[in-house]
Amino acid sequence: MAERSGAPAARAVLQQCLQAGLQVQPAEELSEAQAVQIDRGMVIYICFFKGATDDILPKMVSTLLSLRLCESDSGKMVSVSELPGSLLIVPQATLGGKAKGRGMQYHNNIGKEDGLRLYGAFVSLCEEELKAASSSAEVTVKHGTYGNRQVLKLDTNGPYTHLMEF
Amino acid sequence: MAERSGAPAARAVLQQCLQAGLQVQPAEELSEAQAVQIDRGMVIYICFFKGATDDILPKMVSTLLSLRLCESDSGKMVSVSELPGSLLIVPQATLGGKAKGRGMQYHNNIGKEDGLRLYGAFVSLCEEELKAASSSAEVTVKHGTYGNRQVLKLDTNGPYTHLMEF
């Protein structure tokens, strides 16, 4: 994890969930809204900053999947892969904001093209790692669509909100 | 807002909501679980660090209530008091965690007694300021119980997760 004094390359907010759903496609004239959903597991809100590269992804993913951020049925803190739990990954550019006057500025956020690529690679790596770490058929990785509005519903037994920077 | 190089005195994660509910008292043998709920507005997850004092509260509260973090019906970014929206304040000690190996450590978190006092003062100030800023009868401040498990349900039209340090 990056020291607080250096500018981070990525910021993640993590919340434990019993169930979480995300609309990935809004309703249109001829089609209903489409949504993805996970049951027990972790929601990862993720934002990449300028200068972030693919190099940081393996460490990020292994850290997020192995840190003891979730509470098991017996009350013990375990990692999401030990739970075993699913992941809902939410691209969240607002996490990179800085207050300037009464408004928010996003000058440090990564450009759209690089952000899209890193986000896709991050999701793929989470899928690989979670699959490798857990043999449970119920465990899954779902994710939002980069650039879309993230319409989220969250149900927790205590969100245990964590912040991680990389 | 504190510069990133200095240790912050408080950390807040903010999410816009359409509706959010928090259990403030778990079910017991003779009583049902008690919950509070807000409709449209903002959820504030809050954590105080060692060294935090009451001095920081007025600036924190005025910043949180006046920053344009919420989306109005017309798609314009406005403050929660301009929306006008309610507040759900959630004490969230996990926000102060630092990864150490696979576990989380909370050495920088404020002690329980000071934390409880600051949290209470923070809630009171939010109530005063929101009341002063908005004449809408529907606008309200609800909050979790310091030290309890925060059983949260959140419904958003895009959580717009923000991080603020003070």
pLDDT tens track for B23-78: 998 888 989 999 999 999 999 999 999 999 999 999 999 999 999 999 999 999 99
pTM: 0.95
The full 3-state SS of A24-84, as one line of letters, equals EECCECCECCEEEEECCEEEEEEEEECCCCHHHHHHHHHHHHHCCCEECCCCCEECCCCCC
Helix axes B57-66, B112-133, angle to 10 degrees: 40
Taking the CB of residue B135, how many other CB atoms lie within 10 A of it? 8
Contacts of A56 (CB under 8 A, 6+ apart): A9, A10, A166
Token pair listed for B154:
């959140």
What is the pLDDT, as a whole number, of residue A4? 45
The pLDDT tens digits of the residues spanning A81-112 come to 999 999 999 999 999 999 999 999 999 999 99
Cα gap A10→A60, rounded to integer Å: 9
Determine, for residues B77 and A104 on separate chains, whether the beta-carbon distance falls below 8 Å: yes
Segment holding B153, helix H or strand E: strand B151-155
Residues in chain B: 166
Q: What is the ipTM of this complex?
A: 0.94
CB B20 within 8 A of CB B151: no
Determine, for residues B99 and A164 on separate chains, whether the beta-carbon distance falls below 8 Å: yes
Binned average pLDDT, 10 residues per bin, chain A of 166 residues: 68 98 91 94 98 97 96 94 96 97 96 97 97 86 95 95 97
The 3-state DSSP class for residue A133 equals helix
For A87, A96, A116, B143, the CA distances from A56, given in Å and listed in that order, are: 19, 17, 15, 37
B interface toward A at CB cutoff 8 Å?
A: 1, 4-5, 7, 11, 13, 45, 63, 66-69, 77, 79, 90, 92, 94-95, 97-99, 102-104, 149-164
Provide the number of CB pairs (under 8 Å) joining chain A to chain B: 111
